[in-house]
Amino acid sequence: MTPADSHNGRRLTARGARTRARIVAAAAELMYIQGVGATTLDDVLAASGVSKSQLYYHFDGKEPLVRAVVDHVGQRVIEREREALSHVSTMRGLRRWRDALVQNNALRHGAYGCALGSLASEVADHDALARRVLSTLFTEWQELLAGVLRRLQSGGALPAEVSVDQLATGLIAALQGGYMLAQTERDVTPMATSIDMALAHIESLSTV
Query: Under a CB-based contact definition with an 8 Å cutoff, are residues 137 and 83 in contact?
Result: no
Residues 105 to 124 in contact with other proteins, rule: CB under 8 A: 117-118, 120-122, 124
Beta bridge partners of 7: 10
Kindly state whether residue 63 participates in binding other proteins, applying the rule CB under 8 A: no
Q: Is 54 in the site for other proteins (CB under 8 A)?
A: no
Count of residues for the chain? 208
* Comparison of 23 and 146: residue with beta carbon closer to other proteins: 146
- Measured from the CB atom, the residue of 57 and 112 that comes closer to other proteins is 112
CA distance 2 to 77: 18
Residue 120 to residue 158: CA distance in whole angstroms:
31
Which x/- pattern, by CB under 8 A, does the window 177-206 give for other proteins? xxxxx-xxxx---xx-xx-xxx--x--x--
For residues 187 and 102, the answer to whether their CB atoms sit within 8 Å is no
Beta bridge partners of 199: none
Binding residue for other proteins (CB under 8 A) from 125, 160, 161, 208?
125
- The alpha carbon of residue 129 and the mean position of all alpha carbons in its chain are separated, in whole angstroms, by 17
**Contact residues for other proteins (CB under 8 A)?**
35, 38, 117-118, 120-122, 124-125, 131, 134-135, 138-139, 163, 165-167, 169-181, 183-186, 190-191, 193-194, 196-198, 201, 204
